[in-house]
Amino acid sequence: MSESPRQKPVILLVASPASRDVLELEFRSRYGRDYDVRTLEGTATATETAAELLDAGRHIALLGVDHALDADALDLVDDLRQLSPSSRRIVLVEAGSFRESLEVLRPALAVGRIDTYLLIPQGPRDEEFHTAITEYLSEWATTTSTVEVVGVRIVDDGTQASVAGIRDFFDRMGSPWTRYRPDSAVGRELFAEVGEDAPLPLVSAYGRPTIVGATDRLVASEFYGSPADLGADYVADLLIIGAGPAGLAAAVYGASEGLRTVVLDPDAVGGQAGTSSMIRNYLGFPRGVSGMRLAFRARLQATRFGARLFTGRAVDAMTPGELHEVSYGDGVLRARSVLIACGVRYRRLDVPALEELVGMGVHYGAATSVAREMEGRDVVIVGGGNSAGQAAIHLARFARSITMVVRRSSLDETMSAYLVKEIATHDEITVRTRSRVTDGGGEGHLEWVQLQGDDGESERVAAEGLFLLLGAEPGCDWLPDEVARDEKGFVLTGREIPKALWRDGLPPAPLETTVPGVFAAGDVRAGSMKRVASASGEGAGAVAQVHAHLAPAPD
């Protein structure tokens, strides 16, 4: 059954007299089936119309404003951002006035007042224009849409902390999901299948048996295949441990160059970067790209070339040898070469009262599925790096207030300038420097946290969401002693390795560890840049060194 116009998300266009007919035609012909396209001429009634739509419970997916409306265009965008923060905001520019408009729009782009600008189509089939529009609508639907989609079914009663991780996993894997109460029709159906006493949550998908007492790792391992499917005699040319940017880049290049490539990851594809709501400084994505979407595309690319990716498989040991053996809980894989690309994990807060509420308002990372639930609520973010900045800007689309808590004296010391500038434009974001979280609590769900400054003064603040992005520590405790690491646990490679550990007086290859045929790339490697682009580059570069290692010795 199709949606009625009153159910469809709205595309709201504010046009000049010259552009109204063109924009009306372009948007209605392309998007009229799935969206309620509203076109207004001039700014006079735009704010009132938007308020009426929102009061009626409608969602404004995208706002397009003609820049020919001059100063009123950006002022209107600012006004509507306050009314509907989750809407994607686009300024539409006539081709003839592009150069003049860009001088005005460049500062607005730099601080996040608008998401992008686009040239108004001059003729039919302007696919570059519509590619941009569909990308923004897709991002809006992924992070904001409340439309139920038949896909993964999750049954819980709201008290299972594991549900947050399950939803995040499916979001990052690009799988739509819907939650149901135990007494719903779906809940009764699944309980009839697994038994009335089955522990929640229940997860049903893909025609496979329903999982009871589900966790994110159990879901990952049950629904997305097992390395055991490769067979007992399988030997990988390249075994990649970790499916973040470094691991995915290595999977694409390794598989495309004919290496039998296998990837293991304990969680969803994407690693820590996969939780980033929007990466705006990644080469080749001028409109930005979410970590989830970047990881999804990389996964498709790697599998197209034949790489095998297995999620929900946490590596627990490695035995080096002519064939390296890697164990992952209920199995072992053998490989001629290994790339350690398991990245880093967020440091724990170590406040017992808050650790007990993980998944119930307290979250390590900033999952997009949880962000939607913060609408109209007070949120605290702990951390001053780029991940924390991206989380704050994304959560500002939903939350009533956001308090960023950082130990340093300013964000400038640890965060990219473009994020610092954009955060400064959000009245709902407050930055508390030289502070830390010392306590918190609530009845079954987070309700408050306690903040303490360097002066020892404490303050209790309301918070229904606490997002912890506390810097990083390497996630490679399972490595054997033969793989040298620095004092913080990061893996040493190339000339970073002490000379006493070099072989025959020569350093290993730049990304090779102290074990021949075992390499490291990305955030887990000592001395790495800790950026998505550099991790991707290292992952790709490692493949060339793997080829050199696997090449037959010269006669």
For residues 338 and 381, membership in a common domain is answered with no
Query: What CATH code is carried by the domain that includes residue 65?
Result: 3.40.50.2300
Which stretch of DSSP H or E encloses residue 441?
strand 435-441
For residues 20 and 132, membership in a common domain is answered with yes
Domain enclosing residue 361, as ranges: 352-470
- In this prediction, residue 466 carries a pLDDT of 95
- Distance (Å, whole) CA 385 – CA 539: 23
Dihedral of alpha carbons 429, 84, 368, 522, sign: negative
For residues 106 and 64, membership in a common domain is answered with yes
Is 555 inside a domain boundary? no
For residues 406 and 530, membership in a common domain is answered with no
For residues 191 and 278, membership in a common domain is answered with no
For residues 99 and 17, membership in a common domain is answered with yes
Is 2 inside a domain boundary? no
Query: From residue 327, how far is each of 239, 331, 532 by CA, in Å?
Result: 12, 6, 27
- For residue 201, whether the previous peptide bond is cis, meaning omega lies within 30 degrees of 0, is yes
For residues 126 and 159, membership in a common domain is answered with no
Report the DSSP beta bridge partners of residue 467: 363, 381
Is 3 inside a domain boundary? no
Boundary-marking domain end, from 197, 223, 249: 223
- Give the residue among 162, 176, 192 at the shortest CA–CA distance from 358: 162
Query: What CATH code is carried by the domain that includes residue 174?
Result: 3.40.30.10
Boundary-marking domain end, from 223, 253, 279: 223
Is 272 inside a domain boundary? yes
Is 255 inside a domain boundary? yes
For residues 49 and 130, membership in a common domain is answered with yes
- In this prediction, residue 1 carries a pLDDT of 42
Q: With beta carbons less than 8 A apart as the criterion, state whether 165 and 264 touch.
A: no
Q: How many domains does the chain have?
A: 4
For residues 75 and 168, membership in a common domain is answered with no
- In this prediction, residue 128 carries a pLDDT of 87
User: What is the token pair recorded at 280?
Assistant: 């705006």
Is 5 inside a domain boundary? no
pLDDT less than 70: residues of the chain: 1-6, 70-71, 145-150, 367-369, 555
Boundary-marking domain end, from 223, 255, 286: 223
For residues 137 and 17, membership in a common domain is answered with yes
User: What is the token pair recorded at 431?
Assistant: 């930055």
Instruction: Note the pLDDT tens digit of each residue in 39-67.
Output: 998 888 889 999 999 999 899 999 999 98
The region that residue 530 occupies, defined by phi over 0 for left and psi between -120 and 50 for alpha, beta otherwise, is left
Tell me which residue has tokens 């520019």.
Answer: 93
Query: What CATH code is carried by the domain that includes residue 376?
Result: 3.50.50.60
For residues 259 and 121, membership in a common domain is answered with no
- Distance (Å, whole) CA 382 – CA 348: 11
Please state, as a whole number, how many other Cβ atoms lie within 10 Å of the Cβ of residue 219.
26
Is 322 inside a domain boundary? yes
Is 44 inside a domain boundary? yes
Instruction: Note the pLDDT tens digit of each residue in 146-199.
Output: 555 567 899 999 889 899 889 888 888 878 888 899 999 999 999 999 999 999
For residues 360 and 453, membership in a common domain is answered with yes
User: What is the token pair recorded at 239?
Assistant: 């075994």
- Give the residue among 2, 22, 5, 12 at the shortest CA–CA distance from 43: 12
